[in-house]
Amino acid sequence: MSRRNISFVICTILSSICLTSCSYKAFEDSLRNPQQETESTDESYVNTASIASQGEGSKEDGQTDKEGNVFMPGETIKSPVGTGEMEYTLQKTEIVQNIYDLDLAPEDFSFSGKSPIDDSGNISESDGEKNYLLVAYITVKNCGIDISGEKEPYPLQIEMCSGSQSNVLTPDGPFLNFAVYFSAHPQDDTKRYYFFRLEQEEEMEVVLGWIVSERMLEEPYYYVINSQGDAEGYQYFQLNEK
């Protein structure tokens, strides 16, 4: 399994652990796949992810033209897809403890294990530590990706990973958090929850959500773009004000 795929396996674990009675250390350790832990003991492995704050600069065609790879609300990141690009523009974020505050229902979510949402719509705690639903409101635009010949009704995959600064930069990482909510998920195909359809040159508004712990929010927390590629190519939207 490639290191890229291993990191993606890690993402799926977080969404299933928020109801356990483990300590926070165990909560953090559960993000780490044993196979990746074994491989990371190789002294030759280097986590190539980096996070660099933006400098001053100008903007052109909605794309921020300045050094660094961290972007803020109102800015746009272009992610290459095939012969075209997908544009992501972060509009705003919200953090809630109850899904009903956002008019969501438990069946709107996708978890790999037991749902951390209780009967009242609250996000359950982990060993006394609060967990939250962090949601990002995003505009996505299909720039030159021709899907006219696709037989698959939902041929495009949304960028669905996020992570705290320490989990992205940890030497044996990066360790990323898989989204548990995607507003545009197919209603008739639960196995392709993160896939969608968007015709060439069209755009739409989507919402993504992640379960995050109180401690994760004590440091910068990012929506990761280009997460399916090499870590050195990651770009980030900062989702909180840390």
Alpha-carbon distance 10 to 232, whole Å? 18
Three-state DSSP class for residue 75 = coil
Helix (H) or strand (E) run with residue 39 in it: helix 34-40
Mean pLDDT across 203-211: 98
Residues 158-195: pLDDT tens digits? 999 999 999 999 999 999 999 999 999 999 988 999 99
Alpha-carbon distance 116 to 180, whole Å? 11
Domain count, the chain: 1
Strand partners, 208: 136, 182
Alpha-carbon distance 195 to 184, whole Å? 8
Residues 228-240: pLDDT tens digits? 999 999 999 999 9
Residue 120 pLDDT > 60: yes
Q: Which range, 15-19, 28-32, 147-151, is most confident?
A: 147-151
Query: Rounded to two decimals, what is the model's pTM?
Result: 0.80
Domain extent at residue 173: 3-238
Q: Which of 140, 159, 144, 164 is nearest to 91 (CA)?
A: 140
Spatial neighbors of 239 by CB under 8 A, at least 6 apart, are 90, 93, 134, 136, 162, 221, 222, 223
pLDDT for 16 equals: 42
- Measured CA to CA in angstroms, residue 74 lies from 53, 60, 96, 104 at distances of 16, 13, 21, 25
